[in-house]
Structures are given as C-alpha cells and as structure tokens.
Amino acid sequence: MMDWTDRHCRFFHRQLTRHARLYTEMVTTGALLHGDVPRHLDFNTEEHPVALQLGGSEPEDLARCAKLAERWGYDEVNLNCGCPSARVQRGAFGACLMAEPELVADGVMAMRDACSLPVTVKHRIGIDRTESYGFVRDFVGTLHQRGGCEVFIVHARNAWLQGLSPKENRELPPLRHELVWRLKADFPQLTIVVNGGIGTDEQIALHLQHVDGVMVGRHAYREPWSLAGWDGRFFGAPAPVPGRAEAEAAMVRYMDRMAAQGTPWPYAARHMLGLHNGLPGARRWRQVWSDHKLESLGPAEVSALARRSLAPQGEAAAGLTAAA
C-alpha cells in the first residue's frame, strides 16, 4: 500500500505477529534502476518474512530488480498486476498488465531465472466491466504454464481502469470471493491467496477453508491490534506481546534507535495510531502522538504523556484482550 506499509509500519506490525508475511509498498523498477536503492530496499532484520512488491512490465528490468531483492535479503519478490491508478497505467504496469498475460509470464520467468527467491503475482479477478471467470482463469493458467508462477494473490474485485479513483476501485467494483475459491478448485496444485474486504478473524478462517492464504490490507493498518491474535489462532504459536503497552514500548525503543540514526520519530509513530482503537482515551492518545509541538521530545516522554490519557478500564481491557 503506497505511503503506508513502509519499513516503520512493517516493524510495528511485526511486533504484533511474528509469522504473517509482510509486503513492502509497491516499488517501480525505474525507481530501483535509476534511483536511491537503499532508500527503497533497506529494511529491518526483524521484518522477516518480508516480500518486495515490484511494479514494472519489462522482463529485463524486472529480472535486474529481482536480483536486487535477493541481494538485499528479501524472502519473496511479488509482481503487482492489480493497482488501477492512472499514474501506474501511464507506466504500463499494474492492473492493465492483466490484458497482456504473455508479457507478464515472460516477466515472471525472467525474474525466476535471475534469482532463487519465490516469484509471486498479485492481481485482480478482471479489468473494466469484463466479469468472465474465464478471463482470470486463463490469466492464471498462462502465468503458471508459460512463466512457472505458483503463487497468486488475488484481489477479488475487477479493476476499472477508467472513471474510478484508486479509492473507488477498492470499494465500488463488487467483491466476488467465490471466483478466487473457484481458482483454487481449478488449480489445486497452486497456492491461491485471497484479498479484498477481509478483516475479522472469522472471515479469515472462513476463507482458509477454500484457499491457501488470506492477505489483509487496510483493515490491518487501521485496526492493528487485530493482528495480535493471528499467531495463536492461525499459526499455533504464542502471541508476540502480552498487551498493547508492550507493543508501544517496543516501538518507543525502535523510534529511539531511528532517531539516533537521523530519522525523525514521527515517521514511525504515525503507523501505530490505531493501536488503542475502541478503548477509552484512545482519541486523546492519538492526539498526543500526533501533536507536532511535542516533536522536540523523545519518544519515551511522548509515550508517558500519551498513556496518561488512557482510562484505567482501557488498560484493563488491553490486558484482557491480550490474554484471550
């Protein structure tokens, strides 16, 4: 998610789940081949497992970027064929690539030949008003047979390339999760991951009865504490932190570390503003962390001020949630 899932966001989410795979913002091949590579690719070792998501269409460029992903230590390289924004379309990548499955397959093969990382593809179920299941079935089949792709992350909406903003493209085209389930039935040998409109643990559990995985995007960002139960419920592992206070404390230590390296701590703090959503005092807690007048203070001082706004019952609720 552009401007959202940067390295600071991913470090925060890793405090809440040790096992869910994290994905970078989409990085264009041009930005990597002609820009500041460390700025785009540097990440914290705590983020593993983490995938680099690429935007591009030229097989040679994709191959060079896949090599960079491996060199920098990523666990997966993912090709975005789902973003519908006009800017992305002008670059001839994103969702418009679904109209050129052979080109995408060539790009996937080039990346697979260039590195030893798993190469995966994220895409929609269709483009514009074409709602034929055969379209997405043939897209997946071509990428598998011609490109060797074995993992597909499928946003269960069409991408309308004209007339809708990126936000509207996440909301207006109807969700058709059953088409993603059908892909898994038709390609049982492939790994099929569903994405789009999924948030609660109950919804995740339902989809896992039909597909191999679930990708959660904006819900995870807006309601980050929902991640804290995933390791126990879906991975059979203990929760990484006992409560919200411990997650905040980990971020305070991280922000201190970043500040010492020259990165202002508000760059990281903004990603945890939803941590106490639904608890008494949460609004005031967010206001303290967002107060520009406090940026001269250290993260620990701001944390102490913010936590005073949390009502005692909110603290208790946080503890009970973590223990559940």
Rg (CA), the chain: 20
Q: CA-to-CA distance for 18 and 250, rounded, in angstroms? A: 14
The verdict on whether 96 is a catalytic residue reads no
Q: Helical H runs in the chain?
A: 7-16, 29-34, 37-41, 59-71, 86-90, 101-114, 133-147, 166-169, 177-186, 201-207, 218-222, 230-234, 244-260, 266-269, 282-290, 299-307, 312-323
Tokens 């760059």 map to which residue? Answer: 267
Residue type, 250: A
Task: Report the C-alpha gap between 297 and 184 in whole angstroms.
Answer: 52
Burial of 202 (0-12, 13-18, 19+ CB in 10 A): exposed
Instruction: Give the CA distances from residue 92 to residues 98, 120, 154, 171, in Å, rounded to whole numbers and listed in that order.
Output: 11, 19, 20, 23
Residue 84 near residue 164 (C-beta atoms within 8 A): yes
Residues in the chain: 324
The catalytically annotated residue of 83, 96, 115, 149 is 83
Q: Which two tokens stand for residue 118?
A: 């798993």
As annotated, the active-site residues are 83
